[in-house]
């Protein structure tokens, strides 16, 4: 009897699982009736079958391309800063450093009558990774009294280290560790290809974090915990030294002109004295403000991103939120004076990679799929559909007869063979929709905006979709 009942119940369960309608709950699942309606809503004409065959065998972008926009690109810009050699970040997320260095070396060339210099990304990236390791470990210590499922603790362990960042990191790191020429400390495989060493560092840092939390739970003294953290950082230092080389402390260097000819006497430098010469003795930290366009938040207010910095003793990412027309005005003023700028974008949206051209009309995805994609900029940000992903150096603008922007150009860090000789060109419409951050020298910022920037900032959380690091 028991065996018969078991067999019958098993059969009923199998039958339930074999029928889509019976297998769903009574709430929000897809019922059998819903599935019938969904299927009935599908068109089945010969044209639709042909459309499927085309999409199944080709890339979506190739089919959605708007051929009416495939003509020659106007590459003329009536406001353009002097060109410089294009760099290549390779397989790394260091665009923030490449763009920041582009600004520093452009200003140096302008100030010294075209002396050129290539700066070592490997050198400063070493210190960036060591500082971010300390930022994580000290953050774990600071939150050691909170449970593992606390929001802040989760944030640290989810993001112990990364190779992304912002211009604030360039400013803090250069001020603390200086600069080195690329010839003195060239790239290594791991600085060009950061994923493997980053994965190993993340794993080791999380292990260290748990050890520090246990020490705190066991009542170890602050001095004991700090001593253990120092030992942990020594391990990180060795991992970085083996993959990127130990940072130089002194070197001899002669500056070159655009033709590559040495035109100054060879001189001994430390990274700090070299940075002072590159920056003209002007502190990088105090020379700029960051502005952003975040239509979700009140304009002309200052915001600060908590825990978003490169060094524990550095500065959080702070910005003045402005409408795009105000950001464009600051950019034009800077470019007219020959000054390039660090800027950030959601670069993958509507990018014609072959031509290096950003235009919201490059692709017509709506017509291809018979629908619309209608979210505005604020809605795209709040739903994680869009946000700043990549830093590039704003270098030119084309203005109409009334001084309004038509086109913009940026120096990218994907090598000189990409796009327009290593640059990207973007329409003003695309610029308004997918540009987010701009770093502007204070001398181009009106007094009213400088005062607004000095307001007590509203603190915002680093988990916000707009505050992902530039890569």
User: Among residues 223, 256, 282, which one ends one of the domains?
Assistant: 282
Does residue 5 form part of some domain?
no
Q: How far is CA 417 from CA 77, 87, 120, 217, 420, in A?
A: 20, 10, 21, 55, 8
d(CA 228, CA 344): 38
Same domain, 265 and 339: no
Which residue, 306, 336, 346, is CA-closest to 95?
346
Low-confidence residues in the chain, pLDDT < 50: 1-24
Same domain, 262 and 168: yes
457 and 359 within one domain: yes
Do 330 and 380 share a domain, yes or no? yes
Place of tokens 């959080």: 316
pLDDT at 11: 46
What pLDDT is recorded for position 25? 56
Contact 181, 108 (CB under 8 A): no
CA–CA distance, 311 with 173 (Å, rounded to integer): 8
Distance separating alpha carbons of residues 172 and 260, to the nearest angstrom: 30
- Closest by Cα among 113, 394, 393, 121 to 258: 113
Q: Which of 455, 396, 332, 467 is nearest to 74 (CA)?
A: 396
Q: Could you give phi then psi for residue 376, rounded to 5 degrees?
A: -90, 180
Q: Same structural domain for residues 162 and 232?
A: yes
Give residue 466's pLDDT.
83
Residues 202 and 84 in one domain: no
> pLDDT of 394-446, one tens digit each?
999 999 999 999 999 999 999 999 999 999 999 999 999 999 999 999 999 99
Residues with Cβ within 8 Å of residue 203, at least 6 apart in sequence: none
How many CB atoms sit inside 10 A of residue 69's CB? 16
Residues 6+ apart with CB under 8 A from 106: 81, 82, 84, 339, 340, 393
- 354 and 466 inside one domain: yes
Q: Assess if residue 119 is contained within a domain.
A: yes
Question: What's the CA gap between 386 and 377, in Å, rounded?
Answer: 8
Task: Provide the domain count of the chain.
Answer: 2
Boundary of a domain, candidates 237, 253, 282: 282
273 plus 292 within the same structural domain: no
Q: Are residues 306 and 341 in the same domain?
A: yes
Is residue 384 in some structural domain? Answer: yes
Residue 305, token pair as written in the block: 């991103």
Buried b (16+ CB within 10 A) or exposed e, 456-468: ebeebebebebbb
Question: What pLDDT does 327 receive?
Answer: 98
Q: Which of 264, 282, 300 is a domain's end point?
A: 282
Q: Find the domain containing 377 and state its range.
A: 59-88+287-471
Q: CA angle at residue 406 from 404 to 410, to 5 degrees? A: 115
Same domain, 303 and 258: no
> Contact at 8 Å (CB) between 324 and 295?
no
Please give the positions annotated as active site. Answer: 95, 390, 412
CATH number of the domain enclosing 450: 3.90.70.10
């Amino acid at each position: 009897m028991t065996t018969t009942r078991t067999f019958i119940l098993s059969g009923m369960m199998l039958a339930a699982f074999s029928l889509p309608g019976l297998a769903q709950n009574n709430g929000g699942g897809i019922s059998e009736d819903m599935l019938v309606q969904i299927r009935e809503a599908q068109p089945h004409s010969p044209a639709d079958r042909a459309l499927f065959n085309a999409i199944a065998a080709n890339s979506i972008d190739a089919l959605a391309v708007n051929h009416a926009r495939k003509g020659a690109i106007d590459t003329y810009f009536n406001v353009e800063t002097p060109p410089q050699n294009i760099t290549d970040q390779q397989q790394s997320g260091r665009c923030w450093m490449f763009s920041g260095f582009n600004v520093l070396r452009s200003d140096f060339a302008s100030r010294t009558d075209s002396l050129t210099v290539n700066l070592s990304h490997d050198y400063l990236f070493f210190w960036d990774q060591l500082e971010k390791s300390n930022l994580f470990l000290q953050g774990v210590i600071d939150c050691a009294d909170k449970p593992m499922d606390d929001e802040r603790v989760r944030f640290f362990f989810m993001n112990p280290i990364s190779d992304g960042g912002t211009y604030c990191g360039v400013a803090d790191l250069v001020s603390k560790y200086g600069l080195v020429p690329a010839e003195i400390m060239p790239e290594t495989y791991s600085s060009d290809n950061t994923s493997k060493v980053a994965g190993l560092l993340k794993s080791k840092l999380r292990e260290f974090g748990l050890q520090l939390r246990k020490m705190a739970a066991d009542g170890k003294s602050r001095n004991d915990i700090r001593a253990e953290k120092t030992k942990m950082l020594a391990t990180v230092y060795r991992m970085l030294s083996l993959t990127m080389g130990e940072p130089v402390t002194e070197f001899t260097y002669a500056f070159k002109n655009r033709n590559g000819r040495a035109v100054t006497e060879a001189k001994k430098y430390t990274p700090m004295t070299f940075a002072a010469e590159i920056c003209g003795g002007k502190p990088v930290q105090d020379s700029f403000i960051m502005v952003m366009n975040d239509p979700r938040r009140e304009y002309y207010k200052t915001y600060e991103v908590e825990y978003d910095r490169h060094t524990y003793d550095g500065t959080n990412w702070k910005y003045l939120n402005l409408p795009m027309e105000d950001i464009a005005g600051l950019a034009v003023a800077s470019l007219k004076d020959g000054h390039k700028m660090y800027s950030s974008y959601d670069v993958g949206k509507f990018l014609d990679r072959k031509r290096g051209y950003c235009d919201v009309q490059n692709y017509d995805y709506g017509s291809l799929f018979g629908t619309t994609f209608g979210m505005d900029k604020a809605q795209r940000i709040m739903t994680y559909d869009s946000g700043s992903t990549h830093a590039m150096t704003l270098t030119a603008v084309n203005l109409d007869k009334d001084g309004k922007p038509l086109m913009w150009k940026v120096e990218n860090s994907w090598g000189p063979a990409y796009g327009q000789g290593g640059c990207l060109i973007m329409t003003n419409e695309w610029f308004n929709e997918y540009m987010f951050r701009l770093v502007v020298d204070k001398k181009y910022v009106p007094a009213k905006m400088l005062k607004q920037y000095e307001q007590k900032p509203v603190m915002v959380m680093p988990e916000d979709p707009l505050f992902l690091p530039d890569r």
